[in-house]
Amino acid sequence: MKQLMGGARRRTALVGGAVVVLVAAGLGTWATDTWPFDGKDTYCWGAWKEDSGPGFLSRKALDEDNASRTSKETAPTPRRQRGQCTVSLHSERVGSDGDQIVAETKITVTYGPAPEGAGQRLEWIDGYLGDRAMPLPDGLPGATDGKQALLVLPEGCDTRDGRPTAVTLDTVARTVYSDTTMSADAGLGGSQSVARLLVAVANRAMEKAGCAPAEPLEAVSPMTTLPEEDESFFTRACRIRGLEFGKEGRDLEYQVGAVTRDFQSCSVRTQRGDGRYFDALMVAQPRFSALLDGVTGTKAPARGWRGTGVFADDYKVVRADCAGRPLTVLMLAPSLHETTPYFTAFANAVARRVGCAPIAPGGSSR
């Protein structure tokens, strides 16, 4: 009987000890905002949490009839430097006319290297840096327009062939009616919220991949805003001399993006059909510049141009020295438009603004 009682006491002590350890662990995780017993779901390798701010993560997003939020993820590892996670929302309701209305939102985060091919890489970069995108705060090498975003990761995460690794965020949100489909708000909460979402998931992805820096990345300062809204019925795009269109400008609109020492963009679109006339970009931030390593060739693209570059059918890119650091200008445009004069004007205007020698022939530093 004494042996039985002793065993019971030992088992009780063990159970009690386990409870103490569990409670202690729980207190520790609660202190770091990862309390495991609050019933809230986490997404994207634990980087995002239900009800943590943005609308797409709120419980209110599930108030619609037949509403659901699902996720799918594949984490990067030290041996597999690629990963992806998606958060999807789906809801259905019946409209006043009796027709079914379906709302769908999908947020996709991708971790991986920049594309290998020059053309692919330039299109990929422009998709995140062009049009209405603005630089991320606190000197982070990235940009967002509030709907999608790009962050270039530290050099320690580069691939073996030297390509930088990046984290991107993309969204698709739509409402489907019986006779039409309309774009919708994804519930990301604006550019500031997107910047924080992106940094949080980047930090977690780098941990999984084994290349996290000693200090985690942070986005705490306010995002800068667009210098102006898009403009139509114009003759000079982005207020840059040499980007004149005459009567053709009546059917175009332009968007001035960021204008900083590290980054500048100018996008011109056709008003009908949302077609691209051209996207012009300048990047000088070191990690942005690293994205363009290997795409500018080994010689000048044409007579009179400074630096190295390539003129292809649907893109032009040139890299030149500017006060001891590389400055890269690029333009993407359908081959049906002759854009070399516009690229020349943009390249020299950018160089002049940041105090560098002309890049294109015929330019002036004044």
Model confidence, pTM: 0.85
Residue 64 has what pLDDT? 74
Quick check: 184 and 103 in contact, CB under 8 A? yes
Quick check: 156 and 75 in contact, CB under 8 A? no
Which regions of the chain are under pLDDT 50?
1-37
Residue 38 has what pLDDT? 57
For 323, phi then psi, to 5°, come to 55, 40
Residue 207 has what pLDDT? 98
Residue 271 has what pLDDT? 77
Q: What angle do CA 167, 168, 174 make, to 5 degrees?
A: 155
Quick check: 263 and 304 in contact, CB under 8 A? no
Q: Where are the domains of the chain?
A: 42-209, 231-353
C-alpha–C-alpha distance, residues 106 and 298, integer Å = 41
Which token pair is 8?
């019971």
SS3 content of the chain, % helix, strand, coil (to 5): 25, 30, 45
C-alpha–C-alpha distance, residues 315 and 123, integer Å = 9
Instruction: Output the CA torsion sign for 152, 323, 256, 341.
Output: negative
- Residues shown for the chain: 366
Residue 175 has what pLDDT? 95
C-alpha–C-alpha distance, residues 359 and 366, integer Å = 13
The total of other beta-carbon atoms located within 10 Å of residue 186's CB is 23
Residues in a beta bridge with 93? 101
What is the distance of C-alpha 364 from the center of its chain? 35
Residue 13 has what pLDDT? 39
